Structure 1
Amino acid sequence: MGISFSFYFRSMQKLSIVIVCKNEAGIIGETLKSFSNLTDDIIVYDNGSNDGTQEVVKRYMAHLHEGKWQGFGPTKNKASQFAKYDWILSLDADEAIDEELKTNLLQLDLADDKTVYELKFKNFFENKWLRFGEWGNDRHIRLFNRCVVQWNDARVHEELVLPAACKMVALYGYILHRTVKSITEYENKMRNYALMNAEKYFREGKRSSVTKAWLAAAFSFIKNYFFKLGFLDGKEGFLCARIMADYTFLKYKNLGDLDKIRVNRQQ
């Protein structure tokens, strides 16, 4: 049995999975289960959960760390510092992996630290996989070497800073992104994102108006529902396009409100 146990660990990939989360007790267990036999280093960086997320994490082969929320980019960089390996697979608590992706990750040699890996997503609206619209054909770079690549300092809509010498490789298989548990919960989440993104735009010196908010929302819906064929996803495709339009409206309306506050203070 001792020989089999040693082989079990040697056959794993030398990468660290890093997850930043808060109040994800309902989903993080299934996510962690999908990483079985992939790596011996799973980092969960919790930002103040009060729903029992910590207890769920401890039941799996994961290292739990807790710390303050500093915005998406800075918090993800902080979490990566706890990783055992330099190769980071950066995921969210609601992002599991399928068996095909796991197999391909295990086959990587990870010899070139200037290579980054782009992963495909299956985004689910409740139990429906959305193949079209805003979430169709979704893919992002999520596997990288932290010695070469890090997240920027954006508090929302963070991005990886890629040196010019980086080479991107696409992997087969999917990340299974189950982000919408209920419509009400998702709408509240998008309202919060709209405010954070408006504050980001305001700091960057961007301005808005009610007219711009309505026009941007209308264009968002038309683009996602018609141009990107969101209507082919049925009711869920319509709801996704509508929620994204609402998010766009609130983002620019909040930006306009922040500008009005700035003007009033100057008077």
Structure 2
Amino acid sequence: MVPVSVVIITKNEAEMISRSITMLKQITDDIIVVDNDSTDQTVSITKQNGCRVYQKNWDGYGANKNKGIELARYNWILSIDADEIPDTALLISIAQLKFNDNNTVYDIPFKAYYGNKPINFGNWGRDHHIRLFNRTRVKWSEPPVHETLILPRNVSVKKLNGHLHHYSVKNASEHEAKIVHYAQLSALKYLQSGKKAGFVKLYIAPVFHFVKTYIFLLGFLDGKEGWYIAKMAMKSTWLKYHYLSKAQQAPKQKNYQNGIPVMAYEYKADIHTE
């Protein structure tokens, strides 16, 4: 075992969570699950697998990850989502670390899947994130969406071998539901920061994102899944600024809160982001 605590936020993740926990138990004796009112077997599965489970109110992605970090037994934190599964190469890479420099953070390559198909190109095929860090130096930011790690100036970033295998969406309908939800949260974030929705953001940026993802990053080589990913990247960009534009034009419109559709304030069942 290594002196690393794993922090996972969950809601209705029974289908995937046991696969991830089975792998993680090979390197750690401290897995913290911060659950948000799961109605499936998530809580019972995690408890049966020896995890420490805390059922908290939903305060946002970054906020709930920080709650888990505070509850951890060790200062070194591996932060993952419930739909991410470490492979053996990654576990070996972590097990070989000395953990003697609190200013070092570790960047982990991702392998993304659309359903069960691995995605090798586009933005998804190039994905990697810092997920292993020391909590005395690093915390998550707490915006409505797209939380990021707040890193010290003198941080040293090192890459790990292996992958986190990210089973992002099962199908196109789930993908679209996620991008709609993310877009609403992003619009809320932009509204709070005073960002504006202009012509370029609404009409040029979406097309640019499609061309970049599908053509420049070779997304077309992933077949129909590459097409869906590029199309959703375009739609996501447009929706963010569409919702922001509505918020700025009609802040008191019915079914809107602070100009954003009320569902943006609700935690959706199986959506995680970074």
Q: Same fold (TM over 0.5)?
A: yes
Question: Is the 8 Å Cα contact of residues 74 and 155 (structure 1) preserved in structure 2?
Answer: no
SS at match of 2:15: coil
TM-score scaled by structure 2?
0.89
Rounded to whole Å, the distance in 1 between the matches of 2:250 and 2:192 is: 13
Partner residue, 1:244: 233
Rounded to whole Å, the distance in 2 between the matches of 1:39 and 1:262 is: 48
Question: Is the 8 Å Cα contact of residues 210 and 256 (structure 1) preserved in structure 2?
Answer: no
User: For residues 113-153 of structure 1, what are the alpha-carbon distances to aligned partners after superposition, in whole Å with 9 as ceiling and x for unaligned?
Assistant: 11000000001111111111121121110000000111112
Partner residue, 1:175: 164
Rounded to whole Å, the distance in 2 between the matches of 1:110 and 1:215 is: 46
Q: 2:39 matched to 1:50?
A: yes
User: For residues 188-234 of structure 1, what are the alpha-carbon distances to aligned partners after superposition, in whole Å with 9 as ceiling and x for unaligned?
Assistant: 11111100001100111111146632322111111100011100111
My pick for the range that moved more, 46-55 or 100-109, is: 46-55
- What is the count of residue pairs matched by the alignment? 254
Task: Say which of 108, 122, 128 aligns to 2:111.
Answer: 122
Q: 2:11 matched to 1:22?
A: yes
Q: 2:146 matched to 1:157?
A: yes
Partner residue, 2:246: 257
Rounded to whole Å, the distance in 2 between the matches of 1:192 and 1:35 is: 29
User: For residues 156-190 of structure 1, what are the alpha-carbon distances to aligned partners after superposition, in whole Å with 9 as ceiling and x for unaligned?
Assistant: 10111111111111011000001112221221111
Question: Is the 8 Å Cα contact of residues 144 and 188 (structure 2) preserved in structure 1?
Answer: no
Partner residue, 2:192: 203
1:1-267 correspondence runs (5 A): 12-209=1-198, 212-262=201-251
* Rg comparison, structure with higher value: 1
Once the 2 structures are TM-superposed, how far is the Cα of residue 32 of structure 1 from its aligned partner?
1.1
SS at match of 2:14: coil
- List runs of 5+ in structure 2 lacking aligned partners: 259-274
The percent identity for this pair of structures is: 42
Question: Is the 8 Å Cα contact of residues 210 and 252 (structure 1) preserved in structure 2?
Answer: no
Rounded to whole Å, the distance in 2 between the matches of 1:211 and 1:262 is: 22
Question: Is the 8 Å Cα contact of residues 210 and 253 (structure 1) preserved in structure 2?
Answer: no
SS at match of 1:56: helix
Rounded to whole Å, the distance in 1 between the matches of 2:48 and 2:252 is: 53
- List runs of 5+ in structure 1 lacking aligned partners: 1-11
Counterpart amino acid of residue 222 in structure 1: V
Question: Is the 8 Å Cα contact of residues 28 and 93 (structure 1) preserved in structure 2?
Answer: yes
Question: Which structure 1 residue ranges, 4+ long, deviate > 3 Å from structure 2?
Answer: 209-212, 262-265
Rounded to whole Å, the distance in 1 between the matches of 2:200 and 2:144 is: 27
Question: Is the 8 Å Cα contact of residues 110 and 166 (structure 2) preserved in structure 1?
Answer: yes
Once the 2 structures are TM-superposed, how far is the Cα of residue 13 of structure 1 from its aligned partner?
0.7
User: For residues 26-45 of structure 1, what are the alpha-carbon distances to aligned partners after superposition, in whole Å with 9 as ceiling and x for unaligned?
Assistant: 11111111213210000110
